[in-house]
Structure 1
Amino acid sequence: MRIGLRLLLAFFLVLGLALFVVLRVFIEEVKPGTRLAMEDSLVDAANALALVAAPDLKAGTIASGPFAQAMTALPQIDPGATIWGFRKERIGYRITVTDARGIVVFDSRGEDLGKDHSQWNDVLRTLRGEYGARSSGESAYDADRTVMHVAAPVRDGDRIVGVLTVSRPNQTLEPYIQRSRDRILNWSWALLGISLAIGLLFTWWMASSLSRLRGYANAVARGERAELPRMGRLSGNTEFADLAQAVERMRIRLEDKAYVENYVHTLTHELKSPLAAIRGAAELLQEPMPEADRERFAGNIQRQTERLRQLIDRLLALADVEQMRQLRAVEPVDLVALTRELLHTAEPRLRLKGLRVDVAQGAEVAVVKGDRFLVAQALQNLLDNAIDFSPHGGVLAVSIGPVNGGIEWSVRDEGPGVPDYAVDRIFDRFYSLPRADTKEKSSGLGLCLVKEVSELHGGTLRIDNVDHPRGCRASWTLPA
């Protein structure tokens, strides 16, 4: 299982469990909390009304006095109030008053007059001087619809002469309870959605950062030219950015070490042959010999010295290109104009071998973006190879034109082509084939340099043998 999926599942599990616990507590506390608030208001109302009812109860006019007249009118009152979007159209209180024995002497609804309520907790506890309250069904036939009763003592001095009970159906609170539950659930779903979105974003960020780092590490392990991945704005200066920099520093150190070791080994091997030739010629020149032989050995020293110079120059150029991870200078490069310049520079060599150049242009200009110096070096190496392997009096065919959304530059010679045994090695460092006329080998760094430059520019390089006419064709395709 991928780490991104694991993180996402773990986040969902923790979030779901936390939301379930919190939501359950909230919902379970809504109804009790609302009823506690109603009970608190009933306590205040009962004690206030008990003070108002006391004069009529002591005077014996509780059933017909001013208190009774006012309380009997409660069911007809329309408050006209709108609470949380719910319209309140009537008073939900029911007022009952019992005497000191618990017998009902007043009922705002007139239903329980004369009944004995002395066994009900609200009346029984209040007559004892305790807090009295109860919640019971509206009737014996409907136990689910409960009513809350809160009582307060009616006093004559310190003596309790009766009990006033304020009742209200719990059902009147259901719209408010349901509204609170709905709001909690709606906000919970919204919070869940936001949390899931944040979780997905966080998981994507971590997974994508790790994926880019893994891709970069795998590319480096395969020896590819990989660019250090950008962690993006979300990563900032986090551990991912530090890890990327650490991997880059490790890559540079490992590559530098391997690069130096490889170059020391290969350079040492390549220098042996020209140095041995120079040493041998120098030793022979110290002895008396005919002038013709002296000139021949001196010329050999000069040729081997030039070979060493070319080897060092090209090695330095290749080393510089190989250490690049991206182009340092990018500008529009017209391949048509650049080819004219290179052919003009190569004109002495072309005349020396009697070569004719045919240039086929698919357009007046063929512009690519890249480093003009490096592109020129690459094209120069391809032209040099074509000239070196062309027979005297041959033809070089240069073609420039659009191909599949890119620009293809190619040169075809009429030389012997690439042998089968060398097809897979022509881009290797220090690998070279003998020239057609001199049978000497070059530094073996030219095509290697061209390949590195091509990769830096995102191009495609091909070397193919052709049959009509026989020869070799080097083509380089760059993004337009």
Structure 2
Amino acid sequence: MKLGLRLLLGFFLITGIAAFFVLRVFAAEIRPSVARVVEDMLVDTANILAELVEDDLAAMPAGGTLETGHFAQRVREYAERPVDARIWGMSKQSLDYRVYVTDARGRVVLDTGARPGGVAIGQDYSRWRDVALTLKGQYGARATRQVEVDGQPSVLYVAAPIRQGARLIGVLTVAKPMSTVQKFIDRAEREILVKGLWLLGLSLLVGVLVTAWIVWSVRRLRDFAQHVELGQRGGERVQAPELSGELGDLARAMEAMRDRLEDHEHVEHMVRALTHELKSPLAAIGGAAELLHDDLPAHDRHAFATQVQDQAARMQRLVERLLELSKLEHRRRLEHLAVVDLAPCVETALAQARGRAEQREVSLQWQQREQAAVLGEPELMHLAMSNLLDNAIDFSWPGGRIEVSVRREGAQALFTVRDHGPGVPDYALARLGERFYSTPRPAVAGEPPRKGTGLGLAIVRQVMQLHGGDVVWAPAGPGLAVTLRWPLATPSAPST
């Protein structure tokens, strides 16, 4: 099961259980809470009415009733009173109190007759909990389910003592059917259910969004880890994703680990390649040194001494270029950016290369020159152009020419160097720019074909990667055309 599905199911389970218990607690508390509120109101009402009926009950003859008394008349008028009240959006059109009074022995002397079929006058209510407890000087209340009426919730009875001075002369009970407030309870339960479902839905939506964010972050981290693995195998390098919290810390730690692994691999590869490249010149120097110990003719001695010098110079160039390439490969960004006009920069590189070109009897010529400004680091751009020109000189025949051009093409600035030498075989084009990969140079004045360090074009490619550009190799027939492509500088970019 995938991580996102696990998180989502876990969140649904936790939210569902929490919502179930919360809604159940709310629903279970509604009825008791309403009953407590109604009972509290009935206590106040019963005590008020007990004070009002005191005079009538004290004046009632033994064995009599209160049906014709002033209090009984007012209670009947209350029951017949029309009412139409809007209570929180619900209509109330009836008065629901039932009031009955008992004497000191528990005999009913007044009853408003809330139940169908008559009233309870003359009956003995001394066994009912509300009357019995009140006659004993305690708080009397009861709840009785009126099944014969409607099978709905119980009727709540609350009694209050009727006293004349310190003497208990009777009990007044106020009753209210809970069915009259049932509609408020039902509405509250419905609202709680609906709002609970909304809350559950919103919680699940938040859960989906949080899960999606976590999965998105983890997948970015996974993709970065896969790119790191591909990078170790020669794939494209990518930057660590910008994440927050612990995932961000993990991404940065993985990037640091990748840098350390790449450094280790880079050093290991460099050592192997350098060892391989140094074997030939060291063997040549060793052989020449052994022969120089013998008694040789002056001509042979001079030849072997020259060989030692040439191989030493080759090793020096190899080490210098290797150091330059190593520094470039460890750079992550450009440091001294400026807007550079390509044509003057190329002119400077041509001026430095003319001395070597004249030694090889190679001419340097402008083929096309346009104004093209790019954003870059001037020293690195000059390094790339110089290496490219040196490579073209090495691959040119004596008496040949090298053509350079600077032009604009769309949103790019292009610098092209084309020689008229033997060119590069098709199978070797894809490997140009690799470290230590080189093809033999043309022979000069009867000398055997020479092989370069294989680092010049690697330096060129690395410089272009830092500048966000690229290198294009194309057979020119004869020769090879190499084009460096930069993005054109924007007008707002800083200039030198």
Q: TM-score range by the shorter chain?
A: 0.7 to 0.9
Question: Are 1:251 and 2:258 an aligned pair?
Answer: yes
Instruction: Say whether the 8 Å CA contact 1:132–1:150 is kept in structure 2.
Output: yes
Q: Within 5 A, what are the aligned runs for 1:100-179? A: 100=105, 102-103=107-108, 105-107=110-112, 112-113=118-119, 115=121, 118=124, 121=128, 125-126=132-133, 129=136, 131-137=140-146, 140=148, 142-144=150-152, 147-154=155-162, 161-174=169-182, 176-178=184-186
Query: Which runs of 5 or more structure 2 residues have no equivalent in the other structure?
Result: 489-496
- CA apart distance, 1:304: 1.6
**Counterpart in the other structure of 1:274:** 281
Task: Sort the Cα spacing of 1:300 and 1:356 in 2 relative to 1 into closer, same or farther, 3 A.
Answer: same
Q: Distance in 2 between matches of 1:280 and 1:388?
A: 27
- CA apart distance, 1:313: 0.8
Instruction: Say whether the 8 Å CA contact 1:328–1:371 is kept in structure 2.
Output: yes
**Counterpart in the other structure of 1:68:** 72
Task: Sort the Cα spacing of 1:453 and 1:282 in 2 relative to 1 into closer, same or farther, 3 A.
Answer: same
**Counterpart in the other structure of 2:387:** 381
- CA apart distance, 1:440: 0.8
Instruction: Say whether the 8 Å CA contact 1:72–1:108 is kept in structure 2.
Output: no
Q: Distance in 2 between matches of 1:273 and 1:165?
A: 119
Q: Distance in 1 between matches of 2:115 and 2:151?
A: 22
Determine helix, strand or coil for the equivalent of 1:417: coil
Determine helix, strand or coil for the equivalent of 1:164: strand
Q: Please, what TM-score do these two structures have when normalized by structure 1?
A: 0.82
Q: Within 5 A, what are the aligned runs for 1:2-401? A: 2-60=2-60, 62-75=66-79, 92-99=96-103, 100=105, 102-103=107-108, 105-107=110-112, 112-113=118-119, 115=121, 118=124, 121=128, 125-126=132-133, 129=136, 131-137=140-146, 140=148, 142-144=150-152, 147-154=155-162, 161-174=169-182, 176-178=184-186, 180-181=188-189, 184-185=192-193, 188=196, 191-192=199-200, 195-196=203-204, 198-223=206-231, 224=235, 226=237, 228-232=239-243, 234-235=244-245, 238=246, 240-352=247-359, 353-361=361-369, 364-367=371-374, 369-391=375-397, 392-401=399-408
In structure 1, which of residues 435, 450, 454 is the aligned counterpart of residue 460 of structure 2? 450
Identical positions, percent: 39
Q: Distance in 2 between matches of 1:203 and 1:331?
A: 45
Determine helix, strand or coil for the equivalent of 1:435: coil
**CA-to-aligned-CA distance 1:190-239 (integer Å, 9 cap, x gap):** 6446544543454344333322332222222112453552544x41xx3x
Query: Which runs of 5 or more structure 1 residues have no equivalent in the other structure?
Result: none
Number of residue pairs the alignment of both structures matches: 470
Q: Distance in 2 between matches of 1:225 and 1:76?
A: 92
Q: Distance in 2 between matches of 1:6 and 1:333?
A: 55
Q: Distance in 2 between matches of 1:407 and 1:190?
A: 60
- CA apart distance, 1:260: 2.3
Instruction: Say whether the 8 Å CA contact 2:404–2:415 is kept in structure 1.
Output: no
**Counterpart in the other structure of 1:429:** 435
**CA-to-aligned-CA distance 1:321-354 (integer Å, 9 cap, x gap):** 2223444444444434432332232233344433
Q: Distance in 2 between matches of 1:177 and 1:331?
A: 77
Task: Sort the Cα spacing of 1:460 and 1:13 in 2 relative to 1 into closer, same or farther, 3 A.
Answer: farther
Determine helix, strand or coil for the equivalent of 2:309: helix
**CA-to-aligned-CA distance 1:225-263 (integer Å, 9 cap, x gap):** 53552544x41xx3x344334323433333333322222
Q: Please, what TM-score do these two structures have when normalized by structure 2?
A: 0.80
Instruction: Say whether the 8 Å CA contact 2:108–2:120 is kept in structure 1.
Output: yes
- CA apart distance, 1:306: 1.7
Determine helix, strand or coil for the equivalent of 2:54: helix
- CA apart distance, 1:314: 0.8
**Which amino acid letter does the alignment assign opposite residue 253 of structure 1?**
R
- CA apart distance, 1:316: 0.8
Structure 1, 182-191 or 384-393: larger mean CA deviation: 182-191
Task: Sort the Cα spacing of 1:84 and 1:347 in 2 relative to 1 into closer, same or farther, 3 A.
Answer: farther
**CA-to-aligned-CA distance 1:277-303 (integer Å, 9 cap, x gap):** 223333444444444444433332222
- CA apart distance, 1:266: 1.6
- CA apart distance, 1:57: 1.7
Instruction: Say whether the 8 Å CA contact 2:364–2:402 is kept in structure 1.
Output: yes
- CA apart distance, 1:312: 0.4
**Counterpart in the other structure of 2:491:** none
Question: Are 1:419 and 2:425 an aligned pair?
Answer: yes
Task: Sort the Cα spacing of 1:317 and 1:19 in 2 relative to 1 into closer, same or farther, 3 A.
Answer: same
Q: Distance in 2 between matches of 1:190 and 1:373?
A: 65
- CA apart distance, 1:308: 1.1
**CA-to-aligned-CA distance 1:35-77 (integer Å, 9 cap, x gap):** 2221232133224423432331231273344433443443577
Task: Sort the Cα spacing of 1:123 and 1:338 in 2 relative to 1 into closer, same or farther, 3 A.
Answer: same
Q: Distance in 2 between matches of 1:110 and 1:64?
A: 20
Instruction: Say whether the 8 Å CA contact 2:152–2:179 is kept in structure 1.
Output: no
RMSD after superposition: 3.7
Task: Sort the Cα spacing of 1:42 and 1:416 in 2 relative to 1 into closer, same or farther, 3 A.
Answer: same
**Which amino acid letter does the alignment assign opposite residue 216 of structure 2?**
S
**Counterpart in the other structure of 2:469:** 459
**Which amino acid letter does the alignment assign opposite residue 4 of structure 1?**
G
